[in-house]
Amino acid sequence: MSTLIDIQRTRSPKQRPSPSELGFGKHFTDHMFLMDFERGRGWSGGRVVPYGPVQVDPAASALHYGQTIFEGLKAFPDPAGRIRVFRLGDHLARLNQSARTLCIPEVDLEVAARGVRALLAIDAAWMPEGEGTSLYIRPLVFATEPFLGVRPAEHFLLCVFLSPVAGYYSTGAAPVRIWVEERYTRAAPGGLGTAKTGANYAASLRAAEDAKARGYEQVLWLDALEHKHVEEVGTMNLFLRIGEEIVTPPLEGTLLRGITRDSVLTLLRHWGLKVSERRISIEEIRTAHARGVLQEVFGTGTAAVISPVGELGFADTSLKIGDGAGPVASRLKQAITDIQYGRAPDRFGWLSPIEALATAEGTAGVAMRA
């Protein structure tokens, strides 16, 4: 399909942040990619425009009923400075999986990928320098139709924008402290748990704030029915090493199908280690800790890749785990970041290169065959 992406360059490029100011998700690049959906017409009008506020009608149904989905992925420089996106196709496929759950029209994967590529090519100079930094890519789809009835909207906006980022946690690579949440729940069977949608994050805030007040960085969610089995952490999937078995909760409809989770499972299996996707109860974790066989606990996610968990907090006790990052967590982080930054071969085909945008050089308003 030949889809023209209109490109309108900014006339006032912003000052780029220095590496020490980066943080996570605080700065945005000069451009964004937009595309509109109208029922009867489908998706159209793919364009790269200067980054900035979009006009939203106060009656837009996303603001009221939360018909919105998003993704989070990253682009990295290779040693020659070329930009490559990590698992682009898998993230866009998950966007469409979320779309189906929320009755949002699926995006054409090919066109969305071209939009991401065009945007990255235009804002390539925003790629930060320094270990652990990258360009975070945030695709977002939300219902723009001004209508107050509760039904799937008929107008949507797809917006993709970029943020130069450092690591996610203020603790850096130090182990995080996680509160095991036995009161609030994130997602119930048959609910929205597998979708990357605002409601899941809104539902997590109360518990996260309470955990923070107790000195914990994130919450470990338990299943909604029995409060017995572990599910996932705030914005990460969870792995535990008990003896020589590495365990992660199965994808049974209440947790996010993490792309980093999948990368980790692929590597662990490739290395011939013993991995299980199975239910694991808090009781089993407490017993393993008491027996001294809870070797490692770590979270996996795009933002921090691998985050060692140093402590699990409960109302009546806290379990200290290991002493810094364990060997499996460290090996995984090294292996994944080596692939991401092109220091190791891309043996699983996880990276999509971004070609320089020769056709869009020059002035504003150039149409590009993306």
Q: Which of 127, 159, 256, 267 binds ligand PMP (CB under 6 A)?
A: 256
Question: Roughly what angle, to the nearest 10 degrees, separates helices 259-270 and 88-101?
Answer: 130
342 phi-psi bin (left φ>0, alpha ψ -120 to 50, beta other): left
With binding defined as CB under 6 A, does residue 301 bind ligand PMP?
Answer: yes
CB of 72 to ligand PMP, least distance (A): 5
With binding defined as CB under 6 A, does residue 241 bind ligand PMP?
Answer: no
CB of 357 to ligand PMP, least distance (A): 27
CB of 139 to ligand PMP, least distance (A): 12
With binding defined as CB under 6 A, does residue 261 bind ligand PMP?
Answer: yes
Between 118 and 255, whose beta carbon lies closer to ligand PMP? 255
Q: Which of 30, 231, 232, 311 binds ligand PMP (CB under 6 A)?
A: 232
Q: Which of 302, 307, 340, 352 binds ligand PMP (CB under 6 A)?
A: 302
Q: Which of 185, 260, 295, 352 binds ligand PMP (CB under 6 A)?
A: 260
Q: Which of 111, 158, 242, 259 binds ligand PMP (CB under 6 A)?
A: 259
With binding defined as CB under 6 A, does residue 235 bind ligand PMP?
Answer: yes
Between 123 and 232, whose beta carbon lies closer to ligand PMP? 232
The token duo for 160 is 């993709």
Closest by CA to 76, choosing from 21, 126, 114, is: 126
With binding defined as CB under 6 A, does residue 72 bind ligand PMP?
Answer: yes
x/- mask, ligand PMP, residues 102-131, rule CB under 6 A, reads ------------------------------
Q: Which of 128, 139, 258, 308 binds ligand PMP (CB under 6 A)?
A: 258
* Number of shown-chain residues binding ligand PMP (CB under 6 A): 13
Q: What are phi and psi of 73, to 5 degrees?
A: -145, 175
With binding defined as CB under 6 A, does residue 155 bind ligand PMP?
Answer: no
With binding defined as CB under 6 A, does residue 254 bind ligand PMP?
Answer: no
- Per CB under 6 A, the segment of 17-25, 40-48, 145-153, 251-259 that binds ligand PMP is 251-259
Stretch 330-349 residues interacting with ligand PMP (CB under 6 A): none
Find residue 319's DSSP bridge partners. Answer: 312
* Residues at the contact surface with ligand PMP, assessed by CB under 6 A: 72, 232, 235-237, 256, 258-261, 300-302
